[in-house]
Structure 1
Amino acid sequence: MLRDLVKIGDKVELKQLDQKGNLIKSANTYVSQVVDFGEEGTICLASPIKNGLLVILNKWVSYRLYFYTEKGLYQCNGHMLNIYREKNMPMVIMKLTSDLEKVQRRKYFRLECVHDILYRRITEEELTLEQKLIYDNSVTPQEQAEIRKKLAEITGKWTNGCITDLSGGGCRFNSKEELKPGDKILLKLSFTVKNQLKKLEITSVIIASEKMYRRTGFYEHRVEFEGISPKDREDLIKYIFEQERKRRSNEKK
Structure 2
Amino acid sequence: MELADIGTGTRLELEPEGYTDSDTRPVYVSSFEWVESDGTAAITAPIFEGRIMPLEKGSVYNVYFLKRQGKLLSLYSFRAAIRERLVIDNLHLLLIEQLDSIEKIQRRSFFRLDCYLDVKYRVLRSLKDRNNSEIPFRKTITSDMSGGGIRILLDERLEPGTYVECELFGENNQKIRFFGKIVRFERTGDAGRYRYAAGVAYVDIDEKEREAVIKYIFREQRKLLRKGLE
Q: Which residue of 1 aligns with 2:134?
A: 153
Correspondence 1:67-146 to 2 at 5 A: 70-71=66-67, 72-73=73-74, 106-124=108-126, 127=128
Q: Which residue of 2 aligns with 1:187?
A: 166
CA distance in 2 between partners of 1:249 and 1:229 (Å): 30
Q: CA deviation at 1:211?
A: 1.4
Q: Give me the TM-score of the superposition, normalised by structure 1.
A: 0.48
Task: Give 3-state SS (helix, strand or coil) of 1:233's partner.
Answer: helix
Task: Give 3-state SS (helix, strand or coil) of 1:213's partner.
Answer: coil
Q: 2:155 aligns with which of 176, 184, 195?
A: 176
Q: Which amino acid aligns with 1:165?
A: D
The structure whose residues are more often helix, as a share, is: 1
- Structure number with greater Rg is 1
Q: Is the 8 A contact 2:117 2:170 kept in 1?
A: no
Q: CA deviation at 1:197?
A: 5.1
CA distance in 1 between partners of 2:207 and 2:227 (Å): 30
Pairs aligned (count): 149
Q: Which residue of 2 aligns with 1:83?
A: none
CA distance in 2 between partners of 1:69 and 1:221 (Å): 32
Correspondence 1:241-252 to 2 at 5 A: 241-250=218-227
Q: Return closer, same or farther for 1:129/1:186 CA change in 2, 3 Å cut-off.
A: closer
CA distance in 1 between partners of 2:162 and 2:133 (Å): 20
CA distance in 1 between partners of 2:133 and 2:13 (Å): 47
Task: Give 3-state SS (helix, strand or coil) of 1:107's partner.
Answer: coil
Q: Return closer, same or farther for 1:128/1:95 CA change in 2, 3 Å cut-off.
A: closer
The reply on whether 1:219 has 2:196 as its aligned counterpart is yes
Q: Return closer, same or farther for 1:197/1:117 CA change in 2, 3 Å cut-off.
A: closer
Q: Which residue of 2 aligns with 1:232?
A: 209
Task: Give 3-state SS (helix, strand or coil) of 2:133's partner.
Answer: helix
CA distance in 1 between partners of 2:142 and 2:109 (Å): 19
Correspondence 1:53-72 to 2 at 5 A: 70-71=66-67, 72=73
Q: Is the 8 A contact 1:168 1:233 kept in 2?
A: yes
State the Cα RMSD in Å. 3.7
CA distance in 2 between partners of 1:197 and 1:162 (Å): 14
Q: CA deviation at 1:160?
A: 1.9
Q: Percent identity?
A: 28
Structure 1, unpaired ranges of 5+: 10-67, 76-92, 131-150
Q: Which amino acid aligns with 1:213?
A: G
Q: CA deviation at 1:248?
A: 3.9
